[in-house]
Amino acid sequence: QVQLVESGGGLVQAGGSLRLSCVASGSTFSVKAMGWYRQAPGKQRELVATITNAGSTNYADSVKGRFTISRDYAKNMVYLQMISLKPEDTAVYYCYAERVLGGKNWGQGTQVTVSS
């Protein structure tokens, strides 16, 4: 199993920026990709961004050009740099790690609130 702890959420005005961080521990050798999901009140959890061990990235259309995912492999960390934030970005953001043998581990989530 992989344990994940997020940080960096908070309250920001529309147009502002935040950087989320997530540190992984445990069986990190079993991870093949990491990323971020988010869940807004009353909505389903949606994929925001992913990054593989090879560095390939993928983004939801709604965040392309505004969010950037990156990894520090030596520190077992994944980051989500968010700029030009919009009120519709308000959600709980969850870090995840996808394991080579299947399945995902999840962090506890960090709240991002964007005020208009």
pLDDT in tens, 36-75: 999 999 999 999 999 999 999 999 999 999 999 999 999 9
Q: What is the mean pLDDT of residues 100-104?
A: 93
Amino acid making up residue 107: G
What's the confidence (pLDDT) of residue 32? Answer: 96
Q: What is the mean pLDDT of residues 9-29?
A: 96
Contact between 25 and 75 under an 8 Å Cβ cutoff? The reply is no
What's the confidence (pLDDT) of residue 8? Answer: 97
What's the confidence (pLDDT) of residue 57? Answer: 98
Q: Which residue has the higher pLDDT, 4 or 102?
A: 4
Euclidean distance between CA atoms 9 and 95, whole angstroms: 12
In the chain, the percentage of residues whose pLDDT exceeds 90 is 96
Phi-psi group of 109: left, alpha or beta (phi > 0 → left; psi -120 to 50 → alpha; rest → beta): left
